[in-house]
Structure formats: structure tokens, C-alpha cells
Amino acid sequence: MTTERIVRIVAGSFILLSLSLGIEGSPLFHNSYWLGFTAFVGANLLQSGFTQFCPLELILKKLGVKTTCR
């Protein structure tokens, strides 16, 4: 598994989890402030698309996860 794929999986999981914790109709609802975390993850994905800088990807590279499928 590559760093790009792991970043997508983690970001998607964080978004789904924070939405389930932040939306009142959810059985896992905790507090609406969790929606701020959803916005943070979305903003990080947006900026990384433009700047090619992603903190999680740097951490994964230092841990030895391969960067491409080759």
C-alpha cells in the first residue's frame, strides 16, 4: 500500500467519523463541534492538492511506507 492510498483512507475515515459524531441525527452524536474537525480535514486535503504538502505523507515516508506502486 502506498502513502497516497493511506492518506486517502485516513482522511475519508476521519471525515466519516467526525460527521457521525457531529450531526445530531446520528446515533453516535456527541457534539456539533466535531464538524470543525471535518472542515479541518477538508481544508488540509484542499491545500495539499495545490501545494503537494501533506504532513501525514511525510510521517508515512519516514516510517518507510513506499510512495509509488513501482
pLDDT in tens, 4-57: 999 999 999 999 999 999 999 999 999 999 999 999 999 999 999 999 999 999
Task: Look up the domain containing 46 and give its range.
Answer: 3-62
- What DSSP state is assigned to residue 70? -
Q: What is the pTM of this model?
A: 0.86
In a domain, residue 68? The reply is no
Question: CB of 6 within 8 A of CB of 60?
Answer: yes
Q: For residue 70, is it within any domain?
A: no
Q: How confident is the model at residue 68 (pLDDT cuts 50, 70, 90)?
A: confident
Q: Does residue 67 contact residue 3 with C-beta atoms inside 8 Å?
A: yes
Does residue 69 sit within a domain?
no
